[in-house]
Structure 1
């Protein structure tokens, strides 16, 4: 909610000195704060670190992690291929249900949860819509409707979420669905609607808790109304509403936005006094804020603490830490956490490879970038174009557009489907090399790809950066290549992008 968060290699990913076990990270105290240790519960020889975590995105849904099933992951992977093969999720579910194994409510919920977790919101919504289309076959709870409402809003827009909410029977209009609607409004920064929904929830007598406060505080944080965040935190204190991990992270982020370093670090003291154990997300959040403030030593100390708090099989912790080590330029630590990540799972997912590739870009490690991309190609993972786009971007930023095009063509040969981001990046690469015809050709292909996967609402269409258009038209003007400039203007007219200033200025 808050953390936002290849071809030969001279740098092996597992160094000779590395062991198969993850290293025990050294601890570095913060310059002005002694970081407290989380309390540990001993189970045999294992020390398990506990922390209170808000279920902000679950809306009361069943804890599917406690179930065991050998087949849901196969269905999940098959659904992901719909992006590549131009299939619809409904057809995959129909085939699975009739030919493979009778689908259960639990399997559908587990798959949808995993899709949401990794940002495949459109596909998750389609799972819920297929389930709904089966009539009375599957039981629906208000938690199910809350999840579907949240997905509807983020994929199709707030109006669609409102229509779904108002169509619900009174039995489904409870605290869960109201909070889901509140979350949609907050997502789109609809301040008045969010505040009125928040107030209505209390008028209806729904018990106040951290979840609804977290949603509204995040909205105020995102629109820069930091004083309102402080007021809501004070309101929680006065009403004896316990803050959870998300609440504390919001507090940290709000203090950092106000550049109040003392308040930001004081949050750890408050957590300790309230007997709340800071988990990895608190320390990665602190690390990201220290990076923004240019305090790299404090950021690294927080990352060491975050590593100590990785428990179980939480991929997100690794991904955040990988990204942040890239930000502070710690190459050795980056490779060590990557090797630990790989040893903790049967195989890294596309999200893991993408995070590591992006971190290597930040480090300027071209050899490592190419080597890891080759490893991804051998891994058998689905051909997510967003992974390839990282390497394409690296080549284009370094004047190697031909290698970028070769990477794109290889993805196609292997059965992958380049997205608009890849074509757009390649267009910019060609433009920088004054290869204008090729740039416009790639621009056309980017436009033809349609809406970008994972964006909302669903009618979103990719657009080139205005600065790219301005530079492209300026080069055309300087070189008197009016035919190419006319092609660009025609693309913009066809797509209804007449409002983009560089294009308007050139046309005049």
Structure 2
């Protein structure tokens, strides 16, 4: 009897804790940034105490919503008040620091950790930051240090590096990593096998990916789950082997639980890419009633991408309007899907209207938003508007990403400046390209030099600029430099 009473009290207490969890307090007025920011400030001013479990869950929710500065502010304030940061918390903390203040600040945080406390979790956390920022040399350097300290004893750092190699288009390095893991008796996990398959497929060897899958199934230490079938389905889709992809998706469906939102989202997206409209709509109708508020934007984004792949513009418009009626924060990623569909259909004015409405609703435009309009303007020969979009896209880059314009458009615009003898316009455009971090080569400098020559203008520093950028121009352009580089 006493045991039942104690269990009942524990259950009641757990329920009360769940109901008053910090993240529920912060999101009680919706998930729009300003509403959450107000609640975070109110909570911090109240100096109320929280349990560690709700603190961690709240940080994860804020991170998921892209509210990195708020998550970092909450983390650092509560840490100062005695909520000490554990080693397993460092990956998220370093990520927040990187996204908010830059990678150098994350490195500083790592350096400040005492040497005796620099165990696997801190090293893995910093390695993750380097990999997400595509800093290959630093990532490989810290991996080497981890091996020297015998801290690379799990699949985690290897998986991080393999993910980096896929992102930076170096899949040929992945089999070497796998061989190294096997040589050092480091057990491959599901993620390792998935990355191995993905890397092999990225080199064009689909049958090689299938052989990896067979090896995985024979590995008694690894349980094949739905993520593996998802990876194989994606490999088949990208190879246009749609029948094989659908077989994998059928197997995927057999292995997921009803509440596994991520798995259902993957199914919807991949069925969209195989052209199976019936399955997309069927799965969406099953999923829609159980989508939690925190996953609303992500779920609608995924469905809209599937509808875009299916070229179902009317259904896409309906889905977008439904999302707008439900959402509490206007996610620009969802808006971009609708804008891109309109632009693809030649309905540029509708795309602009959607963008303007998003601004009114408080959305923050990102580089992709401007890129969508840039592409349409460029194809329509509206070069002034194209250049403005490029400038806006460079200034809007964020979320730890780097954005540079496509080289095809850059070359086209440099030709436009040359035809108009527009030296000032060309130089202003180069400033934008430099700000984007784009490597400027001969394809940019040759038309620049020609623009100077045809306009009859000079620039005595042009040869020095070429030397600094390590650019070699053609013999014909080099002859023009004799006239351009005069005192």
User: Could you say which TM-score interval applies, normalised by the shorter chain?
Assistant: 0.7 to 0.9
Indicate conservation of the 8 Å contact 2:190/2:228, yes or no.
Answer: yes
Structure with more helix by fraction: 2
Aligned equivalents of 1:189 and 1:505: distance in 2? 31
Q: Which residue of 1 aligns with 2:326?
A: 379
Q: Which moved more, 1:264-273 or 1:464-473?
A: 464-473
Give the secondary-structure state (helix, strand or coil) at the position aligned to 1:349.
helix
Aligned equivalents of 1:99 and 1:153: distance in 2? 28
The alignment status of 1:204 with 2:154, answered yes or no, reads no
Deviations along 1:398-456, one digit per CA (max 9) or x if unpaired, are 22111112222222344444444324422433443445565566566556xx3434224
From the superposition, tell whether residues 199 and 96 of structure 1 become closer, same or farther in structure 2 (CA, over 3 Å): same
From the superposition, tell whether residues 488 and 477 of structure 1 become closer, same or farther in structure 2 (CA, over 3 Å): closer
From the superposition, tell whether residues 293 and 88 of structure 1 become closer, same or farther in structure 2 (CA, over 3 Å): same
In structure 2, list runs of 5 or more residues that go unmatched. 1-16, 453-487
Aligned equivalents of 1:419 and 1:129: distance in 2? 27
Find 1:81's aligned residue among 7, 32, 49.
32
Find 1:244's aligned residue among 152, 167, 189.
189
Find 1:390's aligned residue among 329, 333, 337.
337
Q: Which residue of 1 aligns with 2:283?
A: 337
User: How big is the shift at 1:196?
Assistant: 4.1
Aligned equivalents of 2:153 and 2:407: distance in 1? 45
Q: Which residue of 2 aligns with 1:96?
A: 43
User: How big is the shift at 1:376?
Assistant: 0.8
Instruction: Calculate the TM-score normalised by the size of structure 2.
Output: 0.74
Deviations along 1:308-367, one digit per CA (max 9) or x if unpaired, are 222263332223222222222111111122222213324551112112212222211111
RMSD: 3.6
How do 1:223-242 residues align onto structure 2 when only pairs under 5 Å count? Answer: 228-242=173-187
Give the secondary-structure state (helix, strand or coil) at the position aligned to 2:18.
coil
How do 1:107-126 residues align onto structure 2 when only pairs under 5 Å count? Answer: 107-117=54-64, 124-126=71-73
How do 1:334-483 residues align onto structure 2 when only pairs under 5 Å count? Answer: 334-346=280-292, 349-435=296-382, 446=393, 450-456=395-401, 463-471=404-412
User: How big is the shift at 1:463?
Assistant: 4.8
Give the secondary-structure state (helix, strand or coil) at the position aligned to 1:137.
coil
Q: Which moved more, 1:344-353 or 1:395-404?
A: 344-353
From the superposition, tell whether residues 81 and 221 of structure 1 become closer, same or farther in structure 2 (CA, over 3 Å): same
Instruction: Calculate the TM-score normalised by the size of structure 1.
Output: 0.72
Aligned equivalents of 2:97 and 2:209: distance in 1? 35
Aligned equivalents of 1:418 and 1:193: distance in 2? 31
Q: Which moved more, 1:255-264 or 1:366-375?
A: 255-264
Number of aligned residue pairs: 427
Q: Could you say which structure has the larger radius of gyration?
A: 2
Q: Which moved more, 1:391-400 or 1:318-327?
A: 318-327
The alignment status of 1:179 with 2:124, answered yes or no, reads yes
Give the secondary-structure state (helix, strand or coil) at the position aligned to 2:285.
helix
Aligned equivalents of 1:392 and 1:355: distance in 2? 15
How do 1:21-40 residues align onto structure 2 when only pairs under 5 Å count? Answer: none
From the superposition, tell whether residues 322 and 104 of structure 1 become closer, same or farther in structure 2 (CA, over 3 Å): same
Q: Which moved more, 1:311-320 or 1:401-410?
A: 311-320
Find 1:505's aligned residue among 439, 443, 447.
447
Indicate conservation of the 8 Å contact 2:172/2:199, yes or no.
Answer: no
Higher relative contact order (CA 8 A, sep 6+): 1
From the superposition, tell whether residues 372 and 489 of structure 1 become closer, same or farther in structure 2 (CA, over 3 Å): farther
From the superposition, tell whether residues 210 and 488 of structure 1 become closer, same or farther in structure 2 (CA, over 3 Å): same
From the superposition, tell whether residues 503 and 379 of structure 1 become closer, same or farther in structure 2 (CA, over 3 Å): farther
Indicate conservation of the 8 Å contact 1:121/1:454, yes or no.
Answer: no
Indicate conservation of the 8 Å contact 2:25/2:39, yes or no.
Answer: no
In structure 1, list runs of 5 or more residues that go unmatched. 1-66
Q: Which residue of 1 aligns with 2:160?
A: 215
Q: Which residue of 1 aligns with 2:262?
A: 316
